[in-house]
Amino acid sequence: MNRFSIKDIENLTGIKAHTIRIWEQRYGILQPKRTPTNIRYYDALDLKTALRISLLNNYGYKISRIHEMSDEEMNSLIQKINDKDFKLQVLVNELLEATLAMDIDRYEKLVNEYLRKYGIEQTIEQLVFNFLEKIGLMWMTDRLFPAQEHMVSNVVYRKLALAIEGLPPKEADAGPSVLLFLPEGEIHDIGLMYVNYLLRKYGKNPIYLGANSPIKDVKMVVEAKHPDYLYVHLTSVASDFDVNKYMQKLHNTFPDSKILVSGSLLNVTKQIPVKNVQFMYTLQQVRDILITLN
């Protein structure tokens, strides 16, 4: 069973822990359970309730009104709100609920419906990346079982693989070549797969090495294929991973290579400039640079 601390609920909903405690005392909502050793925790149903309350509260409904609603009334109100951003967040929360319940059929149905309506790029950039941001918080705090993450990640992998297969065949003289890889210990490669898709779409020549790639393996491929660029994506490597030390090691190993770096980890660490390394902090930066590679 997934168990969540009040800090987890705060991170996943945006509701401050102090506010949650006030609501608990004043309105009797989000009442925590307790372990045999008297440690407070919330379960998946509490999280579902908190996510819905947060959505309505952020949309302008006061908690004094929300707490009087039945589950049916709350669900009905959520379905009636037509704001695009609101609906997207509702869907992200539904994906999260399906993940916790390991309801893989519902998860894939939700993704397929969005994919049919908006296409692969909007599905990945708006729906999946928003979802992965929340999943990442749970992954880093051990609130998500690996099996839960693997089941839903495989759905996204398949959609991306089909999208890549659906692109026109790569031209024989496509270029420049870009070697795509993740550091040793990094297994979350959905972002890297999407970069692979974009490179193919823009007529470039990606070489996909993939997840958990030791530098010695990267070096072997570089010596064999002589790529024009190296591309590394950083999401959630081991806790002792040092971005700057890794960048320096890449520089020392590949001093003449052009190295591109992206990923959410860049936004929570401070990078030291390295001569042949270019950092990309937003998806728009990634797009702009990939389009103009030559």
pLDDT tens figures, 3-19: 888 988 988 888 999 99
With a CB cutoff of 8 Å and minimum separation 6, the contacts of 181 are: 192, 209, 210, 213, 218, 230, 231, 232
* pLDDT at site 248: 95
Q: Which domains does the chain have, with CATH numbers?
A: 1-81 (1.10.1660.10), 82-166 (1.10.1240.10), 170-292 (3.40.50.280)
Q: What angle do CA 162, 166, 168 make, to 5 degrees?
A: 150
Question: Which of 10-19, 26-35, 218-227, 260-269 ranks highest by mean pLDDT?
Answer: 218-227
Which of 173-177's residues contact partners 24+ apart within 8 Å by CB, and which partners? 174/203, 174/204, 174/205, 175/204, 175/205, 175/228, 175/294, 176/204, 176/205, 176/227, 176/228, 176/229, 176/293, 176/294, 177/204, 177/205, 177/206, 177/207, 177/225, 177/226, 177/227, 177/228, 177/229
Q: Which amino acid is at 37?
A: T
What value does the mean pLDDT take over residues 148-163?
A: 92
Residue % of the chain over a pLDDT of 90: 65
pLDDT tens figures, 263-281: 888 888 899 999 999 999 9
pLDDT tens figures, 73-120: 998 999 999 899 999 999 999 998 898 888 999 999 999 999 999 999
* pLDDT at site 8: 87
pTM: 0.87
* pLDDT at site 137: 60
What value does the mean pLDDT take over residues 234-257?
A: 89
Return the minimum-mean-pLDDT range out of 144-153, 170-179, 213-222: 144-153
Q: Kindly tell me if the per-residue pLDDT of 140 is higher than 60.
A: no
Q: pLDDT category, 243, cuts 50, 70, 90?
A: very high
Q: Kindly tell me if the per-residue pLDDT of 136 is higher than 80.
A: no
What value does the mean pLDDT take over residues 15-34?
A: 91
Q: Are 230 and 181 in contact, with CB atoms under 8 Å apart?
A: yes
* pLDDT at site 143: 67
* pLDDT at site 184: 92
- What is the average pLDDT score of the chain? 91
Return the minimum-mean-pLDDT range out of 141-145, 169-173, 182-186: 141-145
Rounded to whole angstroms, the Cα distance separating 86 from 17 reads 23
Return the minimum-mean-pLDDT range out of 97-111, 134-148, 229-243: 134-148
* pLDDT at site 216: 97
